[in-house]
């Protein structure tokens, strides 16, 4: 995908412009918003396309990411797009792709970004391993960018050679912050909980789904990238995806003999399956091999246009928020409760359900003190929520339901306060669902007692299997 220009394009406070009734079709040569001439298609995904473009005022190249607003609203990705805008606004570093401005029409959102001419680092690696000095140069720039992002409270969560671009001078640029997270996204335990990333580059604690430190997860991905640059292939690879995940979680990899001993030692500290002793970015930057020829580049001062960019982002938020309120009011007129929109299981979620692939032992000392359980069902999401509503009424619990997440809170004070349980509904197929239960507050023993004596018996009519049960209910 995409993305580079050496000077800042002007950011106008009126850049959020609505097109006329007929939406502009993205074609080569089309003039967008009276300011940009669209060129060739650089890449595309499910919800967006990226085009080369020329700024008609300055004549300079840029890349424009065109996002279909209707598709992201239907896919429930509004918050993800908002987060991507916020993140790209926060990070301004020589080794990070720049977001210049945001524009919107009735049906599209446009990201005007830096155009990076050299393509993906992946294309270099695909031809074979790199020389040690070249690999170190790219790795140094990657770590500099990651360190800066972390200092701004940003965690990328999908670092891989395909998301590392090279400019005409061979400088690395980190791109694609679509799966990134902000420090504010952490839960009360101080950890992130969304399972995402690319399987071969993801840290074991992310797969485990019990929460993870975003910085530690990013540094693991950087270690995999360093290995790929020097070896020419992945450290953890197997045709069987399950077996590959087992290797990742055990930290099982071998370095080819041409990788220097000092790098092997560094890789073993980065690719430690236990995140606690895993090397930090700060310690990594003190490593003697890393420091060879390293030139620290100071980040530029804050942009004088930062306030205007904030206004643009607020406007984009307003477009989504107003649409959301309209939809919400229409729904409320017809249905008194929130519509049930369950989340979808990704590859990590499905793998974690597989028999014999419980990774908890790697991260939890006392498996009897788990605060979660999981069951499968063939009942539709509306029936699942209805059953929880019945339980809440019977047990005097308050209940909230939003987007496939049900929150139950008890009314009786326990040893550690009121018991609170989250139930999240995931759609595997249109006729098969997984429900995860997590204790979010209260005493663990009281939670287990409530689950065994009240919750599980009440759910038996809809449960197909509980996790770990071999017998299936008809």
Q: What's the pLDDT tens digit per position in 12-26?
A: 333 333 333 334 445
**What single string gives the DSSP state of each residue in 18-35?**
---SSPPP--TTPEETTT
Distance CA 317, CA 313 (A): 6
Confidence bin at 345 (pLDDT 50/70/90): low
The C-alpha R_g of the chain, in whole angstroms, comes to 24
Q: Percentage of the chain with pLDDT > 70?
A: 76
Q: Which CATH superfamily is domain 343-466 in?
A: Kinase associated domain 1, KA1 (3.30.310.80)
- Give residue 432's pLDDT: 81
- Section 429-441 average pLDDT: 82
- Total residue length of the chain: 474
Confidence bin at 136 (pLDDT 50/70/90): very high
Confidence bin at 342 (pLDDT 50/70/90): low
> Please, which residues have CB within 8 angstroms of residue 137's CB and are 6 or more apart in sequence?
170, 293
- Give residue 426's pLDDT: 82
- Section 235-252 average pLDDT: 90
Which residues does residue 417 pair with via DSSP β-bridges, in sequence order? 414
Token pair in block for residue 384: 């699942």
CA triple 230-224-165, angle to 5 deg: 75
Catalogue the active-site residues.
158
Confidence check: pLDDT of 328 > 70: no
The more confident residue out of 242 and 154 is 154
- Give residue 440's pLDDT: 85
The dihedral sign for the CA sequence 194, 195, 200, 204:
positive
- Give residue 256's pLDDT: 95
Backbone angles phi and psi of 114, in degrees to 5: -65, 135
Confidence bin at 347 (pLDDT 50/70/90): low
- Give residue 404's pLDDT: 66
- Section 193-207 average pLDDT: 90
Confidence check: pLDDT of 85 > 60: yes
- Section 35-50 average pLDDT: 88
Residues 437-456: pLDDT tens digits? 888 888 888 888 888 888 88
Q: Are residues 174 and 95 in contact, defined by beta-carbon separation less than 8 angstroms?
A: yes
65 is in an annotated binding site: yes
DSSP letter at 184? G
Domain borders along the chain are: 31-115+304-326, 121-291, 343-466
Domain 121-291 class, CATH top level:
mainly alpha
Which helix (H) or strand (E) covers residue 136, if one does? Answer: helix 132-151
- Give residue 86's pLDDT: 85
> Please, which residues have CB within 8 angstroms of residue 70's CB and are 6 or more apart in sequence?
107
DSSP H helical segments within 26-120, as ranges? Answer: 69-74, 78-90
Reduced to 3 states (helix: H, G, I; strand: E, B; else coil), residue 193 is: coil
Token pair in block for residue 207: 């797969």
Distance CA 387, CA 391 (A): 6
Domain 31-115+304-326 class, CATH top level:
alpha beta
Distance CA 142, CA 172 (A): 7
- pTM of the model as a whole: 0.67
Confidence check: pLDDT of 308 > 80: no
Mean pLDDT for the chain overall:
79
């Amino acid at each position: 995908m995409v993305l580079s220009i050496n000077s800042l394009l002007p950011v106008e406070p009126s850049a959020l412009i609505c097109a006329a009734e007929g939406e502009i079709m993205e074609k080569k040569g089309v003039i967008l918003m009276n300011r940009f001439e669209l060129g060739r298609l650089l890449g595309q995904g499910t919800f967006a396309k990226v085009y080369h473009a020329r700024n008609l005022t300055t004549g300079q190249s840029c890349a424009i990411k065109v996002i279909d607003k209707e598709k992201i609203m239907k896919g429930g990705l509004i918050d993800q797009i908002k987060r991507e805008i916020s993140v790209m606004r926060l990070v301004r570093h020589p080794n990070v792709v720049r977001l210049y401005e945001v524009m919107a029409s009735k049906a599209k959102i446009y990201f005007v970004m830096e155009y990076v001419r050299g393509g993906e680092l992946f294309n270099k690696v695909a031809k074979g391993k790199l020389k040690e000095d070249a690999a170190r140069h790219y790795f140094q720039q990657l770590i500099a960018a990651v360190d800066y992002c972390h200092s701004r409270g940003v965690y990328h969560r999908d670092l891989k050679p395909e998301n590392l671009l090279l400019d005409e001078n061979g400088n690395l640029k980190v791109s694609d912050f679509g799966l990134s997270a902000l420090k504010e996204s952490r839960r009360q335990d101080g950890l992130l909980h969304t399972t995402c990333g690319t399987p071969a580059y993801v840290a074991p604690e992310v797969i485990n789904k019990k929460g993870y430190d975003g910085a530690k997860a990013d540094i693991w991905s950087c270690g995999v990238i360093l290995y790929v640059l020097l070896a020419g292939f992945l450290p953890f690879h197997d045709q069987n995806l399950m077996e590959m995940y087992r290797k990742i979680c055990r930290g099982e990899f071998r370095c080819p003999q041409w990788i220097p001993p000092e790098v092997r030692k560094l890789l073993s500290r980065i690719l430690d399956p236990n995140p606690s002793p895993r090397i930090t970015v700060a310690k990594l930057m003190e490593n003697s091999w890393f420091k060879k020829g390293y030139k620290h580049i100071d980040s530029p001062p804050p942009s004088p246009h930062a306030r205007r960019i904030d206004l643009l982002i607020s406007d984009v938020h307003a477009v989504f928020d107003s649409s959301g309120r309209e939809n919400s009011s229409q729904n409320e007129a017809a249905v008194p409760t929130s519509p049930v929109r369950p989340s979808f299981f990704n590859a990590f979620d499905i793998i974690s359900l597989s028999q014999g692939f419980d990774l908890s032992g790697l991260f939890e000392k006392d498996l009897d003190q788990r605060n979660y359980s999981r069951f499968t069902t063939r009942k539709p999401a509306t029936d699942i929520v209805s059953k929880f509503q019945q339980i809440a009424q019977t047990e005097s619990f308050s209940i909230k339901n939003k987007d496939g997440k049900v929150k139950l809170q008890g009314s009786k004070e326990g040893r550690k306060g009121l018991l609170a349980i989250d139930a999240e509904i995931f759609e595997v197929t249109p006729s098969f669902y997984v429900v995860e239960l997590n204790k979010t507050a209260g005493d663990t023993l009281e939670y287990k007692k409530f689950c065994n004596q009240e919750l599980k018996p009440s759910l038996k009519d809809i449960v197909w299997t509980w996790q770990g049960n071999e017998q299936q209910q008809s």
